[in-house]
Amino acid sequence: MTANLWQLFLSFMQVGMFSIGGGYAAMPFIRSQVVSLHGWLTMSEFTDLVTIAEMTPGPIAINAATFVGNRLAGFTGAIVATMGCILPSCLIVSLLAYLYRKYRQMDMLQNVLTCLRPAVVALIASAGLEILRQAKAVRAAFFDGHAPYVVPMGFEWFVNGMQPVVCLMMPKEGRKAEALSVCTQVCLEFEAPDAAAIQVVLAEGKAVPLHEEDGAMVYAIPVETMSGRRYFLPDD
């Protein structure tokens, strides 16, 4: 089904204006516009589009807008849909940048920003820790100098001050032990599904031998970096 360019622009401008929370938060809104409301794509075509958008470098929402526009109206449609998606963000960020440059010396604004920074960090950390609490297993990625090695494992964790620490138990010999002898950096993926989405936390840190237990070695991995994603499940 073809789409009017103006209608395509307005649809993706709504996506860019009202989808708050990152690219994955925009996907249900894009689905409602292109599948449910206008019928431009089938659900199967939309699922293929999401897969391609994830594989392509760049923000997933903008990639999806570009692919939908190209699918419906060729190169011109891709430009129109992409511009519609990014226009609200450009206008809002430009306005905020102007206001910040104009009023950044105000004591009240500096006090507000000073109070917001730790609050934002705490919110991000609490969301990640909640997923750690719900997760039952972790996928740990090691590197032995030749190729990555990913394996699901059980884990325990605790908080040391403000830093999460993940504990993994491994045999003292084997591929994981050999990989840690080459590179102590470990990447971790925790998954916690709920009714509407799959929440994923990605963490990274250096494995440190902690103690031996039942003939195995327990490693502590203080988390150095943490990020997250939320994958929305399709409606039944």
CB atoms within 10 A of CB 7: 14
Residue 37 is given by DSSP the state I
Question: How confident is the model over 108-151, as pLDDT tens digits?
Answer: 878 887 887 777 667 666 766 777 777 777 889 998 888 888 98
| Res 1: pLDDT | 46
Q: Which amino acid is at 131?
A: I
pLDDT of residue 25: 67
The answer to whether 12 and 81 have CB atoms below 8 angstroms apart is yes
The residues with which 171 forms a beta bridge, in sequence order, are 216
For residue 86, the SS3 value is helix
The single-letter code of the amino acid at 79 is: I
Ranges of the chain with pLDDT below 70: 1-3, 21-25, 120-121, 123-125, 127-128, 193-198, 229-236
Q: Which of 8, 66, 60 is nearest to 34 (CA)?
A: 8
- Looking at residue 24, its pLDDT comes to 64
Report the pLDDT value the prediction gives residue 60, as an integer from 0 to 100. 80
Distances (CA, A) of 175 to 12, 106, 126, 188: 48, 58, 34, 17
Distance CA 192, CA 134 (A): 6
CB 141 within 8 A of CB 204: no
Among residues 37, 35, 17, which one has the least CA distance to residue 26? 17
Q: Which domains does the chain have, with CATH numbers?
A: 5-103 (no CATH), 131-232 (2.30.110.10)
pLDDT of residue 207: 93
> What strands lie across the sheet with 185-193, from one edge to the other?
148-153, 138-143, 185-193, 197-206, 225-232
Q: What pLDDT, on the 0 to 100 scale, is given for residue 174? A: 86
Is the torsion defined by CA of 8, 2, 73, 27 positive or negative? Answer: positive
Give the integer Cα–Cα distance in Å for 183 and 26.
37
